[in-house]
């Protein structure tokens, strides 16, 4: 196994990984191997787009609106994403935004409601149909790797998309050269490899999300990739997601007393406990990261 960016030999950091999200625990084994030079890791075996498509069911949560408290939290997350873009850029009213991998189109809708000229793309027809039915949002049906930008935008967002791609270098280069206006902003959300969560749960870390996540980024790894592409003024935020910790605890099935007590708690109690655990470990080592950069 060689690094897909630089060709260096890779170090295996996960073996026998499973698709814990949809297929359960009895399925094919997957390997994650790290390039210590580029500070990124890759999922093996390699898969074609057609093979990967089988791991994205029609009822994928990206296309189903959350209800109740979960829905409220999700809307707060979208608002927080937009607030970070505002903090980075200043006033955004009237600016153009393109959301790659827009899911059911809810973030595009939130941005439109705040006065941005917003659109986006989605790799699944199910997502495109959901966006139109739920929010009257028209998305382009296209894979991120194949987008042909007809216009340039002030802001391009990819929220939990880059890690799904087989060639993130090509996608970032296309965004930089063809998708963003001069001075435009790139907004990324990513799992963070070498976080406290990935160290604690190993192959049972939910944010490995095998085999859908093809590339796994450390902070140093995404920083190098963005700078090599030409981006500057890179800013990072940590993000705590207690549901990832909660799910990882169940996948891991640890038999120590603390883990057994945790799993016995009702979910409304578990999630505040999970958030407290995340906060205690600090945003600098959080399981997810938010990255903003300028062309």
CATH assignment at residue 222: 3.40.50.150
Domain for residue 38, yes or no? no
Residues of the chain with pLDDT > 90, as a percent, come to 76
> Is 169 part of a structural domain of the chain?
yes
Question: How many domains, the chain?
Answer: 1
Residue 231 forms part of a structural domain:
yes
**Angstrom distance (rounded) from CA 215 to CA 99:** 20
- How many whole angstroms separate alpha carbon 11 and alpha carbon 32? 9
Q: What is the pLDDT of residues 167-201, one digit of tens each?
A: 999 999 999 999 999 999 999 999 999 999 999 99
Name the average pLDDT for the chain.
91
pLDDT of residue 25: 59
Domain that includes residue 104, residue range: 48-240+286-294
- Please indicate, yes or no, if residue 32 is contained in any of the structural domains: no
pLDDT in tens, 54-72: 787 665 666 766 667 666 7
Given the structure tokens 């295996």, which residue do they identify? 12
Rg (CA), the chain: 19
- Mean pLDDT over 122-137 rounds to 90
Q: Supply the pTM of this predicted model.
A: 0.93
Is 34 part of a structural domain of the chain?
no
């Amino acid at each position: 196994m060689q690094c897909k960016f630089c060709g260096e030999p890779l170090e295996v950091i996960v073996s026998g990984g499973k698709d814990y999200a949809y297929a359960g625990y009895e399925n094919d084994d997957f390997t994650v191997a790290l390039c210590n030079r580029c500070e990124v890791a890759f999922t093996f075996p390699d898969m074609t787009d057609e093979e990967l498509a089988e791991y994205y069911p029609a009822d994928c949560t990206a296309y189903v609106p959350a209800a109740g408290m979960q829905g409220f939290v999700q809307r707060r997350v979208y608002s927080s994403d937009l607030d970070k873009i505002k903090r980075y850029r200043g006033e955004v009213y009237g600016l153009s935004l393109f959301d790659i991998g827009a899911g059911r189109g809810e973030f595009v809708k939130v941005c439109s409601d705040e006065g941005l000229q917003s659109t986006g793309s989605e790799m699944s027809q199910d997502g495109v149909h959901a966006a139109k039915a739920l929010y009257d949002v028209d998305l382009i049906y296209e894979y991120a790797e194949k987008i042909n930008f007809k216009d340039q935008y002030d802001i391009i967002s990819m929220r939990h998309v880059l890690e799904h791609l087989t060639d993130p270098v090509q996608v970032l280069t296309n965004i930089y050269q063809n998708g963003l206006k001069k001075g435009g902003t790139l907004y990324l959300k990513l799992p963070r490899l070498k976080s406290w969560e990935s160290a604690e749960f190993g192959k049972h870390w939910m944010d490995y999300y095998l085999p859908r996540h093809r590339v796994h980024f450390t902070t140093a790894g995404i920083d190098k990739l963005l700078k090599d592409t030409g981006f500057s003024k890179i800013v990072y935020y940590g993000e705590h997601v207690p549901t990832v910790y909660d799910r990882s605890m169940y996948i891991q099935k640890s038999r120590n007393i603390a883990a057994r007590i945790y799993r016995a708690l009702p979910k409304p109690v578990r999630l505040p406990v999970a958030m407290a655990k995340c906060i205690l470990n600090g945003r600098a080592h959080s399981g997810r990261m938010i990255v903003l950069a300028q062309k």
